[in-house]
Structure 1
Amino acid sequence: MRDFQLPGRSAVYARNGICATSHPLAAEAAVSILKQGGNAVDAAIAGAVLLGLAEPQMTGIGGDCFALISPAPGAEVVAVNGSGRAPKAAQAADLRARGLSTVPLYGPEAVTLPGAVDAFCTMSERWGKLGLADSLAPAIAYMEEGVPVAPRVAFDWQADHGVLQGAARRHFLQDGRVPRVGDIFRLPGQAEVLRRIARDGRAGFYEGEVAEDMLATLQALGGLHEAEDFAAMRCTFGAPISGQYQGQTLLEHAPNGQGVTAILLLNILKRFDIAALDPFGAERAHLEAEAAKLAYDARNRFLADADHMTKLDRLLSDDLADQLAALIDPRRAMAAPAELSEAVHKDTIYITVVDRDRMAVSLIYSIFHGFGSGIASEKFGILFQNRGAGFTLAEGHPNEMRGGARPMHTIIPAMLAEGGRVTMPFGVMGGQYQPNGHARVMSNLTDFGMDPQSALDAPRSFATAGGLELERGYRPEVRAALAEMGHDLREPASPIGGAQAILIHDSGVLEGASDPRKDGCAIGY
């Protein structure tokens, strides 16, 4: 139990349903759908789409999503891949011929097809109870009426607005300036798009006037996108991948997401007695940093679209974890892996919902970098992701840009399970940090017995190519010890990630936790 004389937040306990996400209006919208008789899928869609207005720098209908869905207690979990593909005409060789070594971040080359809308439509049809129109109703109303800009959103907006170009400046700035805390922000053009999706399903987005608006914008900038690319966009379904840690099963989305990295990282860490260490001490931070360097290096070399990846079994193997763990010196830092040629970043949203029947949804939804590509469609203001910058241009690499392929993705939803039953859907935002975040949360819960809220509140560290980032929650003596081990310490410019979780107790009580690094909360009833 937390010390109630210190700043902090309590978990939310409820019986009928909970939503945890990074903005309270989105959490409330999801719970309102549950109260109307909707299920966790109906509610998760409602909250996620609204977050495209409440946190527009993080996500939107021009982006992608991944989801893990547990339809009922004990049922097989389904992984939904709502990530978009490169247009069929896209080829790395063409960019190399232009003298490029990376995909331009803020050009049409980085814009992959928006995959989230098809995923939402398909999820609603396959699992929803109320229908898509009911799920989209809260977002449509807020898009028209507007929402007040929240503090963390204003902070990110100020940092990221410089990438906005063309029509995006008109849709996402107010009289040319960045909105301030409390300013009302609206997206009436997207309200109209959502009305068409509510009426016509995916055809309201991928065909007709909305698709023509998106195509005209991209083609005018030299994009290779065609109407056929949009019309062919379909999400896919599969089984999650899994790993074991301290008696718990971690379920992750299969590639092209980076969930396998979290499993590999935990497989390395379980070769050490993490539970015997100070949870906020130098030894734990050091071992986690070293394991992350090795796990991420493996990711960088092998992770790609599942259609082009051959090393998944190797990344999940105990043999690889043994070999990598043997490379760690418990007292000395190794060099960080080389930086990726493909882009990585940390802007996304995560939402989790559990309903009264214990259907559970773990959903993550993003436009990649802050404000994505910075390009928005002229009429409707649909902001395009720049997820195509997640491809490499290195010839022969499994993640090489090619027409119709999906790039390596940083966004990953997760679930914990025990005895064949999902016990906690959760996610940690933060782009490249996410696998490390999943491993840390799971270790906080199992190695140190933390409750979910404490596990999310705890200070974070992250080894990057630029050094070991430490949040301000670490003690000075810990910093000194890590520096003595050879770590190049850095203070991150913003908090490392943001997380949400819902623990499903054996008693049936739901416990919702929400990261204080964001504006959001857990709401239940």
Structure 2
Amino acid sequence: MRNLQLPGRSPVRATEGMVATSHPLATQAAIDILKRGGNAMDAAIAASAVLAVVEPQATGIGGDCFVLYCPSGSEKVLAFNGSGRAPAAATAEWYRERGFTEIPERGPHAVTVPGAVDAWCRLIEDHGRLPMSELLSAAISYAERGYVVADRVARDWANNMPWLSEFADAARILLPDGQAPQAGSIHRQPELGRTLQRIAQHGRAGFYQGAVAEDMVAQLRRLGGVHSLEDFATCCGEYVEPIHSHYRGYDLYQVPPNNQGLTALLMLNILAGFDLSQLSATSAARLHLEVEAARLAYRERDQRIADPGFAQVPVAELLSEHYAEQARKLINPQRVAKALPEPIMEHSDTTYLCVVDNERNAVSFINSIYSEFGSGVMAPASGVMLQNRANCFRLDPEHPNCIAPLKRPMHTIMPAMLMQNARPVAPFGVMGGDYQPMGQVHVLTGIIDFGLDPQEALDAARAFYSDGKLHVENGIPASVREELSRYGHELADQTEPLGGGQLIWIDWEKGTLTGGSDPRKDGCALGY
């Protein structure tokens, strides 16, 4: 139990239903849906839609999503890949002929076709109870009537103001009066509200066909993109077979490649050979082992993960015990390994949420436009900010993640589902672009190896290896920093919070739910 005399908050505990998101308005909208008879999938999509309005720096209907879903009474985890594809005209040769050495971070060439709306519609059709018009009503209201800008959102907004101002249509909507909205101010997005209304009335066709699609494609083409109406009309997500690995009596499920969820499983397999419980939860020794396992896992991610429809990804080999044993031999518990190639790390933003309802349907749901405010390309009439997922592609024709027509890029956003005895124990996720595998493992080992409750595990200070340095949050004590330095880590202060996260723990014996929400975001967990 936490020290009640120190800052912090207790986990949320309830019996009937639980929602945890990165924004209070989204959490409340999802709870309202549950109380009106909706199930966990209904509530998740209602929350995701609200987040697409009130966290415009992190998510939106111009982005992608991935979902893990464990229906009540089922032993099977369902996985849905809602990531969009490159335009049919996008070839590596096209970019190289025009002098590109990499896919730009911003602008039309960074845009893949957004898959989120297609995924929402498919998931509600297959697993929901309520009509889309009811699920989107809260998001529509916040877009049209306005919402109060939250503190973390305002901070991110201000940080991105200089480059946003260079995109005229984005600036018109997102920088009213030429400034980023401040915390406590009211922001409206009427164009987005009208688009959400069209989706509520016409479903998938209201986004991928007709006026909204024409607006998005016209803007992309005007700026030099190669996208077509056909690219949008044919966008279609798919159910995929989840991958999983065993860790100390639990099974962790992830979405398979093109998703980076495999990275977290590699880390856990490596760490399974170390008895972390004999260490302190706040020790340098624990952080060091996690960081070294991450370096090995991220190396494989950067070299191998790609769209399996275009490249061979050796998932079974990477998840084998033989691979874990060999990787483990490269780790010195008291010294940094110097010979590993550097992983490629980028900062991005995302929204993650999870829902468990009174029937114990469990949803792990993540939606994102990748970098903060995505590509910067705002469709002017529909108010859709388009993602910049193509930035994850490579232009090296020998690399499995090289851009190609209708190919999906390697994806950072990754929901997780923890299972035990063929039942869901915890839908959870950690935001933060490349940090996500490291973040998931840090939270999970906090709970399983060190007995932390969901809120304590999310609160715990974090570290991340990037650019040859170990970036540490200011919550890591000086004594731990000193010991990490003695291990050979070159330390750097982490200037921005590392990720964010949500988790709901299901106690089947007691019939209770326990939720936590990361203090690095504005959100909360609520139950009833």
Identify the TM-score tier after normalising by the shorter chain: over 0.9
What does residue 501 of structure 1 align with?
A: 503
Give the CA deviation at 1:210: 0.4
Deviation at 1:270, TM superposition (A): 1.2
Q: 2:244·2:252 contact (CA, 8 Å) conserved in 1?
A: yes
Distance 1:310 1:524 in 2: 40
1:473 counterpart = 2:475: yes
CA RMSD of aligned residues (A): 1.1
Are the equivalent residues in 2 in contact too, given 1:163–1:371 (CA < 8 A)? no
Q: Which residue of 1 aligns with 2:426?
A: 424
**What does the per-residue CA deviation read over 1:165-215, in whole Å, with 9 as the maximum and x for residues that have no partner?**
120100111111110011101111111111111111100000000000001
CA distance in 2, matches of 1:354, 1:206: 30
Q: Following the alignment from structure 1 to structure 2, what is the Cα–Cα distance between the partners of residues 10 and 140?
A: 32
Match of 1:150, as an amino acid? A
Indicate which of 219, 232, 235 corresponds to 1:233. 235
Give the equivalent residue in structure 2 for 1:148: 148
**Contact 1:252–1:413 (CA<8 Å) still a contact in 2?**
yes
Equivalent residue number for residue 401 of structure 2: 399
For residues 462 and 404 of structure 2, the distance between their equivalents in structure 1, rounded to whole angstroms, comes to 36
What percent of counterpart residues are identical? 50
Q: Match of 2:326, SS?
A: helix
| Counterpart for residue 202 of structure 2 | 200
Query: Do 2:306 and 2:313's aligned partners in 1 also have CA atoms closer than 8 Å?
Result: no
Separation in structure 1 between the aligned mates of residue 114 and residue 243 of structure 2, nearest angstrom: 24
Supply the distance in 1 between the matched residues of 2:449 and 2:64 (Cα, whole angstroms). 33
C-alpha contact 2:447 2:454 (8 A) present in aligned 1 = yes
Larger deviation, residues 330-339 vs 107-116: 330-339
Does the CA-based 8 Å contact 2:257-2:307 persist in structure 1? yes
Contact 1:346 1:433 in 2 (8 A): no
Structure 1 distance, partners of 2:196, 2:489, is: 49
For residues 31-42 of structure 1, the aligned pairs below 5 Å read 31-42=31-42
Residue matched to 2:458? 456
Contact 2:473 2:494 in 1 (8 A): yes
Q: 2: CA distance between counterparts of 1:407 and 1:221?
A: 22
Alpha-carbon displacement from aligned partner over 1:453-495 (angstroms, at most 9, x marks no partner): 1111111111112410111111111111111221111111111
Q: Which residue of 2 aligns with 1:247?
A: 249
Q: Letter of the 1:435 partner, please give it.
A: P
Q: Residue by residue, what CA displacement relative to the aligned partner does 1:321-344 show, whole Å, maximum 9, x if unpaired?
A: 11111011222212363353xx73
| CA apart distance, 1:53 | 1.5
> In the alignment, what sits opposite 2:319?
316
Once the two structures are TM-superposed, the CA of residue 75 in structure 1 deviates from its matched residue by: 3.5
1:292 to 291, 294, 300: 294
Partner of 2:337: 334
Flag as ranges the 4+ runs of structure 1 deviating above 4 A. Answer: none
Paired with 1:142 and 1:221, the residues of 2 have a C-alpha distance of 30
Give the secondary structure class of the aligned counterpart of 2:419: strand
Q: Distance in 1 between matches of 2:161 and 2:392?
A: 21
CA shift digits 1:68-95 (9 cap, x unpaired): 0111133411101110000011011221
Opposite residue 260 of structure 1, the aligned amino acid is L
**TM-score normalised by structure 1 residue count:** 0.98
The residue identity in structure 2 corresponding to 1:281 is S
Counterpart in the other structure of 1:360: 362
Equivalent residues in 2 for 1:166-315, closer than 5 Å: 166-307=168-309, 308-315=311-318
Is the Cα contact below 8 Å between 2:20 and 2:504 reproduced in 1? yes
Matched, 1:82 2:82: yes
Q: How many residues align?
A: 523
- What is the Cα deviation at residue 100 of structure 1? 2.0
Under a length normalisation based on structure 2, what TM-score does the superposition of the two structures give? Answer: 0.97
CA distance in 2, matches of 1:417, 1:513: 18
Structure 1: segments with no counterpart, 5+ residues: none
Report deviation, 1:101. 1.9
Matched, 1:60 2:60: yes
Once residues 320 and 301 of structure 2 are traced to their aligned partners in structure 1, the CA distance between those partners, rounded to angstroms, is: 14
1:440 deviation in Å? Answer: 1.0
Cross-structure match for 2:520: 517
- 1:204-247 CA-partner distances (Å, limit 9, x unpaired): 00000000000110000111100100000011002211011111
What is the match of residue 8 of structure 2? Answer: 8
Q: Unaligned stretches of 5+ in structure 2?
A: none
Is residue 67–residue 79 contact of structure 1 (8 Å, CA) maintained in 2?
Answer: yes
Q: Which residue type is aligned with residue 152 of structure 1?
A: R
Give, as a single letter, the amino acid of the residue that structure 1 aligns with 2:317.
R
Taking the aligned partners of 1:337 and 1:407, their CA distance within structure 2 comes to 22
* Equivalent in the alignment of 1:102: 102
Distance in 1, Cα, partners of 2:328 & 2:93: 37
The answer as to whether partners of 1:346 and 1:497 remain within 8 angstroms in 2 is: no
**CA offsets 1:7-32 (integer angstroms, 9 cap, x no match):** 11111111111110010010000000
What SS does the aligned partner of 1:119 have?
helix
Structure 2: distance between partners of 1:205 and 1:261: 33
Give how far 1:514 is off. Answer: 0.7
SS in 2 for 1:175: helix
Contact preservation (8 Å) 1:73, 1:422: no
Q: Distance in 2 between matches of 1:78 and 1:163?
A: 39
Match of 1:434 in 2: 436
